[in-house]
Amino acid sequence: MIPIIDYTKYPKPRSRHHVSSNQYLPRDQICIEPRYYPPLRPQIEWCAHFVNGRAPEYLDIGCGMGRFLLEMALREPSVNILGLEVREYAVRWIRRVIDGERPRGILGNAEALWYNVANGLPFCSDASIRKIFYLFPDPWFKKRHHYRRAFTVAFLNECARVLRSDGILYLMTDVPDVDRYQREILCQHGGFVIEECSDDAEWEEIPVHTDQEEFCLRKGIPYTRIRCYKRTTER
C-alpha cells in the first residue's frame, strides 16, 4: 500500500516572497554580489539529505510546491528523488512535510533544495541520474524575459552529462510557445532523440500528476508530453 500524507497538517505559506529577476541568472552573470540568491552547490554530501546516504537517481527541476516529488517518493521508496526550486518559501514548505513525515518512516528518499538550475548540476556525478523531470516550466511569455528560461543548450549539456546512457529527460508543458522553444533548443543541442507521448498508456511509468498538470486536467487545457533519450549511435 502506498502511504498517504495528510497535507492539511502542513498549511501552505500565505506570503509569497518575490523572486527577483537576478535569481534566474547564473551567478557568474551577476556583477554585484546579490543579497538574496540561492546558494551555489559545488558539491553535496548526500548522507545529510537522504536516509540511505546515496545520491539521487531522479531530479525534479522546478519542483514548485513538490506534489510530484513527494508522491513519486512515496511510490518509489527505494529511489532517491531531489527537487530543485528557485522559490525558497516553496522549498521550506516541502522540507516541513519531509521532516514531519520521516518519523513515520517515509520520505527518507525525498529532498528539496533552494537552487537556481541555471548554475548547472555540479553536485551530480556523470552518468548518475536515471530520470530528469522538467515539468511545466514558467512560460516567461515576453521575449525580453526569455533569458529567465532555464532550458538552454548549457542546461541540456548538463542533463546529458548527468544522465545515464539509458536515462530519460521528461518534458511537459501546456504553453505551445514553450513547447516550440524547447524543441528548438533540443534541435540546436542535437544530443537527444525526442519521443512524443500523446496517450496516457505511453506515459504510464509516470503515475503521478504535478500541481500544474492537475490544474490543466481540471480546466481541460491541453499539454504536451515528451521523452528525450540521450542519442546513441544505434538511435
Residues marked as catalytic: 138
Binding site for ligand SAM (CB under 6 A): 24, 62-64, 84-87, 90, 116-118, 135-138, 150, 210-213
C-alpha grid cell for residue 107? Answer: 520520505
Distance CA 156, CA 158 (A): 5
C-alpha grid cell for residue 231? Answer: 542519442
Residue closer to ligand SAM, measured from CB, 42 or 103: 42
With 0-12 CB in 10 A as exposed, 13-18 as middle and 19+ as buried, what is 15? exposed
Task: Please identify the residue of the shown chain whose CB is closest to the bound ligand SAM.
Answer: 62
Residue closer to ligand SAM, measured from CB, 73 or 135: 135
Distance CA 92, CA 80 (A): 19
Contact 124, 160 (CB under 8 A): no
Residue 63 C-beta: closest distance to ligand SAM, Å: 6
What are the φ and ψ backbone dihedral angles of 219, each rounded to 5 degrees?
Answer: -95, -5
The set of residues, in sequence order, having a beta carbon less than 8 Å from that of 3 and lying 6+ positions away, is 74, 104, 106
Residue 233 C-beta: closest distance to ligand SAM, Å: 32
Residue closer to ligand SAM, measured from CB, 56 or 137: 137
Residue 203 C-beta: closest distance to ligand SAM, Å: 14
Residue closer to ligand SAM, measured from CB, 109 or 212: 212
Residue 160 C-beta: closest distance to ligand SAM, Å: 18
Residue closer to ligand SAM, measured from CB, 70 or 90: 90
With 0-12 CB in 10 A as exposed, 13-18 as middle and 19+ as buried, what is 234? exposed
CA 12 to chain centre: 20
Residue 29 C-beta: closest distance to ligand SAM, Å: 12
Distance CA 222, CA 173 (A): 9
Task: Classify 44 in phi/psi space as left (phi over 0), alpha (psi -120 to 50) or beta.
Answer: beta
